[in-house]
Amino acid sequence: ILNVEQSPQSLHVQEGDSTNFTCSFPSSNFYALHWYRWETAKSPEALFVMTLNGDEKKKGQISATLNTKEGYSYLYIKGSQPEDSATYLCAPQKTSYDKVIFGPGTSLSVIP
């Protein structure tokens, strides 16, 4: 079982604030790191799948960076909006056909 940690557990920010969260994972036997956004009463949706050390991906106002050597990834949201309120999950993967085990998530609430 992969030990995946996410911090903080929850976050409350004002609309327009920028924020970031951390995902920590074992750096050995690394293949890919997944980020998902999970809104209440919906299904998780993929944000990014990252594989290369130093990789940075961006989708709108959301971006992520990856450090495979030290085993962490940061997710940034610039100018948070109420619709960004969700739980953000990360999950490492050892091969393309390996299990994907999610961390506990970071719950983000953006207050209008």
Partner 1 sequence: DSGVTQTPKHLITATGQRVTLRCSPRSGDLSVYWYQQSLDQGLQFLIQYYNGEERAKGNILERFSAQQFPDLHSELNLSSLELGDSALYFCASSRGWTVSPLHFGNGTRLTVT
Applying CB under 8 A, which of residues 89, 90, 108, 110 lies at the interface with partner 1? 89
What letter would DSSP give residue 72?
Answer: E
Q: Under 8 Å CB-to-CB from 29, ≥6 apart: which residues?
A: 94
Q: Tell me the C-alpha to C-alpha distance, in Å, between residue 111 and each of 15, 53, 71, 82.
A: 6, 34, 31, 6
Q: x/- contact string, 38-57, with partner 1 (CB under 8 A)?
A: -----xxxx--x-x------
Report the nearest approach of partner 1 to the CB of residue 27 (Å).
18
Cα separation, 82 vs 13, in Å, equals 9
Which of residues 14 and 40 has its CB atom nearest to partner 1 in the complex? 40
CB 89 within 8 A of CB 23: no
Q: Which two tokens stand for residue 15?
A: 């609309």
Report the nearest approach of partner 1 to the CB of residue 84 (Å).
19
Which of residues 58 and 99 has its CB atom nearest to partner 1 in the complex? 99
Which of residues 17 and 85 has its CB atom nearest to partner 1 in the complex? 85
Which parts of this chain interact with partner 1 (CB under 8 A)? 1, 31-32, 34, 36, 43-46, 49, 51, 89, 96-105
